[in-house]
């Protein structure tokens, strides 16, 4: 007997018809916990329904959403669904098309989250009075995240744009799974022991409640609370909330936002230096003006004495004091101006753009850290050559002396 040969489309359609014509599967009731909930702008809702062992993709069209007796449901909630099994041809996957939903109540993960949240709130872990101040100017920043993820590249791009002189130290960590919280704890302990950063960022992209569950760990929350170094939570998207967000000293809406908060802008730093210099000059001018007024007042007071000798002595003394103070003031002004000029020259000298404008090229490692000693380059290492307008990546082949 010769086997019938199907095309992909015809086989998929055959399976689709078989599934949708099954009486049991055309009207099925399923219970489970909501995960990966997403609502489309057209009103359709896409999510997964799961239990301890399995998961099924679900879709509920907008017309059915308008008929149920509540506005929305969310990740972690347990629901009962009435619907039918269908096959999504483009992906070749089956799904549950829902036309009736009833809430059972809050799901197990959500209950566990709320229970831990309340416990830590009662212990004072969320109190603003216990939050550490995030430094206004952090020049050494510790990042706890995966070195292979997109998040670290986003953070490095922010650093390159705002201030290429920032020193970023990355602690490679798992950010998903049952063991991830242990890695994150090790990262916090590492930076606290080394005490080599001004602030710590814990970063991970968005995901479902299961994906982010490592950040809802009680032991991790205690480690964040005990940290002597301020911690910024950059976990998930703006709508994602974890225990890590509540315990940290500051919550950022996204990993990129956490970098924007912690990395000082070079232009702002230069502006503050200029403002401080102007303020100091004005203070010196006021001091000189006040001194001149006092000298004038003393002169007027002395002129009221009748003995000519006393008057001359006082005038000579005042004149000497005036000359001495004027000299000291001028010396101080020159000293401050020299210090500010030296600082500006150092900043201009170290401006990476001016260096590159002269035709120089910066040799960097794969994370765009400047390589200052050829001894740090090994054969087959990935390197980046930073020109003025572009970066060329390559491998180090040979070293010649």
For residues 218 and 104, which has the higher predicted lDDT (pLDDT)?
218
Diameter over CA atoms, the chain: 140
* In a shared domain, residues 240 and 121: yes
pLDDT in tens, 145-172: 999 989 999 999 999 998 888 999 999 9
Q: Which of 54, 87, 106 is the last residue of a domain?
A: 106
Pick the range with the lowest mean pLDDT from 22-36, 58-72, 180-194.
58-72
Query: Residue 176 — pLDDT band, cuts 50, 70, 90?
Result: very high
More confident residue, 266 or 203: 203
Residue 2 lies in a domain: no
Q: Does the pLDDT at position 269 exceed 80?
A: no
Confidence band for 299, pLDDT divided at 50, 70 and 90: confident
Domain containing 376 equals: 355-395
In a domain, 3, yes or no: no
Residue 352 and residue 370 in contact, taking contact as beta carbons nearer than 8 Å: no
Please compute the mean of the pLDDT values over residues 108-133 and round it to a whole number. Answer: 90
Pair of tokens at residue 98: 């829902």
| Residues 158, 221 within the same domain | yes
Shared-domain flag, residues 169 and 301:
no
For 51-71, b/e burial (b = at least 16 CB within 10 A) is eeeeebebbbeeebbeebeee
pLDDT higher at 197 or 74? 197
Number of domains in the chain: 4
Beta carbons within 10 angstroms of residue 19's beta carbon:
15
Q: What is the mean pLDDT of residues 114-143?
A: 92
**Is the residue at 215 inside a domain?**
yes
Best CA proximity match to 28, nearest among 37, 36, 19: 19
Distances (CA, A) of 255 to 22, 134, 169: 47, 16, 15
Query: Tens of pLDDT along 9-38?
Result: 888 888 888 888 787 788 888 999 999 988
- Specify whether the CB–CB gap between 364 and 383 falls below 8 A: yes
Lowest-confidence region among 133-142, 154-163, 165-174, 308-317: 308-317
Task: Write down the pTM of the prediction.
Answer: 0.52
Do 86 and 148 belong together in one domain?
A: no
- Do residues 142 and 259 both lie within one domain? yes
Question: What does the alpha-carbon distance between residue 84 and residue 94 come to, in Å, rounded to a whole number?
Answer: 10
Same domain, residue pair 254 and 216: yes
Neighbours of 354 (CB within 10 A): 12
Domain boundary among 106, 133, 162: 106
In this structure, are 77 and 126 located in the same domain?
no
Buried b / exposed e over 237-257, threshold 16 CB at 10 Å, is eeebbbbbbbbbbbbbbbbbb
């Amino acid at each position: 007997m010769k086997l019938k040969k199907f095309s992909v489309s015809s086989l998929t359609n055959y399976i689709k018809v078989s599934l949708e014509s099954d009486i049991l599967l055309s009207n099925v009731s399923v219970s489970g916990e909501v995960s990966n909930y997403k609502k489309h702008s057209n009103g359709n809702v896409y999510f997964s329904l799961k239990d301890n062992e399995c998961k099924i993709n679900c879709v509920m069209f907008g017309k059915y959403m308008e008929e149920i007796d509540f506005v929305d449901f969310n990740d972690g909630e347990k629901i009962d669904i009435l619907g039918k099994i269908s096959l999504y041809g483009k992906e070749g996957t089956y799904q549950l098309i829902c036309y009736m939903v009833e809430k059972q109540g809050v799901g197990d993960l959500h209950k566990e989250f709320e229970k831990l949240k309340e416990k830590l709130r009662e212990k004072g872990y969320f109190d603003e009075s216990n939050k550490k101040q995030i430094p206004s100017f952090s020049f050494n920043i510790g990042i706890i995240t995966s070195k292979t993820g997109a998040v670290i590249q986003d953070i490095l791009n922010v650093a390159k744009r705002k201030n290429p002189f920032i020193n970023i130290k990355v602690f490679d960590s798992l950010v998903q799974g049952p063991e991830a919280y242990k890695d994150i704890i090790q990262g916090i302990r590492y930076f606290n022991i080394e005490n080599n950063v001004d602030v710590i960022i814990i970063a991970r992209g968005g995901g479902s409640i299961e994906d982010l569950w490592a950040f809802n760990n009680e032991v991790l929350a205690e480690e964040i609370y005990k940290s002597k170094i301020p911690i910024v939570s950059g976990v998930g998207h703006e709508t994602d909330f974890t225990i890590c967000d509540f315990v940290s000293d500051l919550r950022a809406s996204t990993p990129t936002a956490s970098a924007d908060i912690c990395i000082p802008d070079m232009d702002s730093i230069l502006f503050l230096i200029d403002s401080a210099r102007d303020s100091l000059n004005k203070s010196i001018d006021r001091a000189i003006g006040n001194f001149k007024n006092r000298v004038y007042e003393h002169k007027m007071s002395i002129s009221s004495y009748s003995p000519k000798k006393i008057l001359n002595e006082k005038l000579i003394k005042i004149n000497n004091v005036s000359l001495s103070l004027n000299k000291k003031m001028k010396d101080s002004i020159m000293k401050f101006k020299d210090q500010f000029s030296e600082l500006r020259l150092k900043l201009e000298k170290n401006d990476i753009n001016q260096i590159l404008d002269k035709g120089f090229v910066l040799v960097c490692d794969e994370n765009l850290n400047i390589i200052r000693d050829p001894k740090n380059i090994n054969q087959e290492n990935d390197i980046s050559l930073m020109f003025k307008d572009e970066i060329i990546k390559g491998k180090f082949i040979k070293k010649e002396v």
